[in-house]
Structure 1
Amino acid sequence: MTANKKEQFPYEIERLSDEENKEVTRCFNGGVVWKFIRIGPQKYFFPNIYENFAERIYNLELRKDDIFVASFPKCGTTWLQELVWLINNNLDYDRAKTVILNKRFPFLEIEGVVGTINTESNEIIKNKMEGAKKALIPMTFDDILTMPTTSPRFIKTHLPLSLLPPTLLNNNKMVYITREPRDVVVSFYYHTKLMRIMNDEPDFKTFWKFFKNSEVIWAPFFQHVQEAWVQRNHPNLLFLFYEDLLNDLRGNVQRVAEFFGKSLTNEQLDELCEHLTFDNFKKNKAVNLEDMIKTGVFSKDGAFIRQGKSGSWRDHFDPEMTLEADRWISENLQNTDLRFPNMES
């Protein structure tokens, strides 16, 4: 293992006022008893239970060959996880199709963002969480710490780099993926509805306001992306855009393979790209979390793997919202050289 010098968590934690918290949570379903916090100078937004894990995650004892996939939510993370896992596991399609991705590639902070479900007062919520545990194994931070010593250990996170161990890029490889921010908002909205966290009150316009104001978990979006963008030339970080994978899957599969020092034949590239095509990916029960729908954790009205395309934001933003988004994007890209592919109004 890579011995980390244990450090005190370096960021201040601000708790939302009762009034702010009431506004943010008014759209939530019963059984969810979140209170929220903001962390550090970027004011990353989390449920208050994350405070119990912040220092532990910051001081996570890394293994020298740990591999991370990171992103803001709904940027193609699951797609990238499958790609990274297969490249580093000799293209073991049999295992990839039979062992759920969350078991092969666990979610680092999952316990710190879903542990606020009140399972005592609501039997329906309790049953849903039991179903979630089966689909999201390992479910706890300790589960990840005690994963078998077989190497490498694959870890997914939606945390920004500043909340992860500060020595991570010294020894460990990370692939970070991001996406057109307006498409992220749309996808995050449908994901939140799928998870049945929100009641029927909030329409997309309401959710857009929460997102723009950085009142969704893991926000603010641009600061999250910018932290990885400034490290894009680091030899242990590969920075990808979701749109580039859509437009040239083969070329970007090759980039990921080269990043990990792997060589793929033309036939292997063809087979891997075929496995990762949207139609095949959506049908793959090891990645599409079908069991979450069967157990009632997810709504029957949606799907975890939803559309696999870009530009759907145009179907959701009215002219007023489009102008707001243009200003929001322009303000946040000011004084940076970060640009998203195919970014236009």
Structure 2
Amino acid sequence: MFPYSIEFLEETVNKDLMDHFRGEKTGFCQVGPQKWLLPAAYAAHAEKYYSMPIREDDVWIITYPRSGTTLCQELIWLLNNELDFKTSSEIKLNARFPFYEFAILNNEKLHNEIIELNSNNPDIVENLKQWRTPGYIKAEMMKSPRHLKTHLPFSLLPQNVGEACKAIYVARNPKDVAVSYYHHNRLIQLHGYNGDFKQYWKYFENDLLVFSPYWEHIKEGWERRNKPNILFLFYEDIIKDMPGAIKTVAKFLNKTISTDDIDALVNHLQIDNFKKSVPLAENVPMEGVFKKDEESFIRRGKIGGNKELTEDMMDGVEKWIEDNLNNTGIEFPIKF
């Protein structure tokens, strides 16, 4: 039984969000005492996302969006598949390591607009239908070991994720998260953000972005960090010491890895190589999915140096971070 209340967002706030996030056609809801913000479509599926049966050899990656998820998916999948670079280059990542709740970000009204833009191409109609298929249905059909990506917090996932199977949680500094999520929300028309970064930051710090609140999301991962089937990582640690991160994840997955294999994996995951060699999604060309003249899905992958965070914003940003880190024990590895 799903244990949380689901309330649709207050009308004026909902309208404001829908005006700025044009890809969401049905509005937003808030879930449970933490008020997790999700598309309204989630309400019809909450129970099934929460109660899907887990397999012992599942591996989940759990992140707040834009926390290095895609890089870590590839790292985890390759370690768990004997560094099969050939398959990695031939089969899209979202087939090998699907996005569990992707369907709630998609709605039929937006898809109909995309279909019309693409002259009712039947391949695109079928492709979009797959996007609307809930992850709990897709997961049932997957062969073991399953690899599943989610941005849902632990409290909304099946409760034995990280108990009966392995789960890796990755956290990233909120400054980099917000900037990366901003560009992502501008690029992907499922979100269709049309405002500036200052407005976006207000939504972020007020927990009005999908999968927020950010701090509660990280705290749920942090509180479980000492469980034997959960590995908590900071994205910054992965970037500053990729060989060390590979060893840590390999040990967690009970995999042995040679120095030569570590070197090969580091090279593969170098961002320019990664962009070129890893197919992320369907190769069916579609108008209306990506906004033109925006940054790519995989951007910089770096730490800090974000021009969007202007000097006049920084005092407020730093205070917000400091206030929220107080008494948590969480300390990001690199300050900037």
* TM-score of the pair, normalised by structure 2: 0.91
**Contact 2:37/2:207 (<8 A) preserved:** yes
What is the match of residue 3 of structure 1? none
Counterpart Cα distance in 2 of 1:138 and 1:197: 11
In structure 2, do the counterparts of structure 1 residues 250 and 121 end up closer, same or farther at CA, with 3 Å as the change threshold? Answer: closer
Distance in 2 of aligned mates of 1:317 and 1:90: 41
SS in structure 1 opposite 2:57?
coil
Partner of 1:170: 163
User: 3-state DSSP class of the match of 2:65?
Assistant: coil
| 1:136/1:272 CA distance change after superposition, 3 Å | farther
For residue 226 of structure 2, the aligned residue among 233, 253, 269 is 233
CA contact (8 A) 1:103 1:138 kept: no
1:145 aligns with: 139
Q: Distance in 2 between matches of 1:159 and 1:327?
A: 26
Identify the residue that residue 92 of structure 1 maps to in structure 2. 84
Answer yes or no: is the 8 Å Cα contact 1:62–1:168 preserved in 2: yes
Q: Name the stretch that deviates more: 260-269 or 17-26.
A: 17-26
Q: Is residue 214 from structure 1 mapped to residue 220 from structure 2 by the alignment?
A: no
Q: Distance in 1 between matches of 2:211 and 2:4?
A: 15
Deviation at residue 41 of structure 1 after TM alignment: 1.1
1:249 paired residue number: 242
Q: Residues 132 and 292 of structure 1 are in contact (CA less than 8 Å); yes or no, is this contact kept in structure 2?
A: no
Q: Cα gap change, 1:163/1:200 in structure 2, threshold over 3 Å: closer, same or farther?
A: closer
Q: Does structure 1 retain, via aligned residues, the 8 Å contact 2:103–2:131?
A: no
1:329 and 2:333 are equivalent in the alignment: no
CA contact (8 A) 1:87 1:262 kept: yes
SS of residue paired to 1:299 = coil
Residues 106, 156 of structure 1: 8 Å contact kept: yes
Q: Number of aligned pairs? A: 333
**Aligned twin of 1:4:** none
2:188 equivalent in structure 1: 195
Deviation, structure 1 residue 270: 0.9
Distance 1:63 1:331, change over 3 A: same
Give the alignment of 1:1-345 within 5 angstroms.
8-29=1-22, 32-115=24-107, 117-120=109-112, 123-124=116-117, 131=124, 134=127, 140-141=133-134, 142-148=136-142, 150-197=143-190, 201-287=194-280, 289=281, 291=283, 295-301=287-293, 302-313=295-306, 315-344=307-336
Question: Is the Cα–Cα contact under 8 Å of residues 185 and 191 in structure 2 kept in the other structure?
Answer: yes
- Supply the AA of the counterpart residue of 1:92: D
Structure 1 position 81, deviation (Å): 0.3
For 1:200 and 1:165, locate their aligned partners in 2 and report how far apart those are by CA, in whole Å: 30
Report the AA paired with residue 339 of structure 1.
E
Give the match's secondary structure for 1:168.
Answer: coil
Q: Is the 8 A contact 1:106 1:138 kept in 2?
A: no
Range with bigger deviation, 165-174 or 189-198: 189-198
**Secondary structure in structure 2 of the residue aligned to 1:112:** helix
CA distance in 1 between counterparts of 2:120 and 2:305 reads 34
When residues 291 and 213 of structure 1 are mapped into structure 2, their CA distance, relative to the original with a 3 A threshold, is: farther
Alpha-carbon distance change, 276 to 129 in structure 1, aligned in 2, over 3 angstroms: farther
- Cα contact 1:293–1:299 (8 A) shared by 2: no
Distance 1:293 1:197, change over 3 A: same
**1:76: how far off?**
0.4
**One-letter amino acid matched to 2:8:** R
Tell me: CA distance 1:131–1:306, structure 2 relative to 1, closer, same or farther (3 Å): farther
Distance 2:7 2:119 in 1: 30
| Structure 2 CA distance for aligned equivalents of residues 107 and 198 of structure 1 | 16
**Contact map agreement 1:67 1:154 (CA 8 A) in 2:** yes
Query: How many angstroms does 1:300 deviate by?
Result: 3.4
Instruction: Quote the sequence identity (%).
Output: 38
Equivalent position SS for 1:316? coil
Q: CA RMSD in A?
A: 2.5
- Cα separation, partners in 2 of 1:167 and 1:108, compared to 1, 3 Å: same
Offset at 1:20? Answer: 1.3
1: CA distance between counterparts of 2:155 and 2:122?
Answer: 30
1:69–1:81 CA contact under 8 A, matched in 2: yes
Change (3 A) 1:255 1:200: closer
- Supply the distance in 1 between the matched residues of 2:130 and 2:246 (Cα, whole angstroms): 27
TM-score, normalised relative to structure 1: 0.89
In the TM superposition, what is the alpha-carbon distance from 1:34 to its structure 2 partner? 2.7
Q: Provide the C-alpha distance between the structure 1 equivalents of 2:133 and 2:321, rounded to a whole number of angstroms.
A: 35
Unaligned runs of 5+ in 1: 1-7
**Gaps in structure 2 of 5+ consecutive residues:** none
Letter in 1 for 2:241: D
Moved more, 200-209 or 182-191: 200-209
Task: Kindly indicate whether the alpha-carbon contact (under 8 Å) linking 1:120 and 1:126 is maintained by their aligned counterparts in 2.
Answer: no
SS for the counterpart of 2:141 is: coil
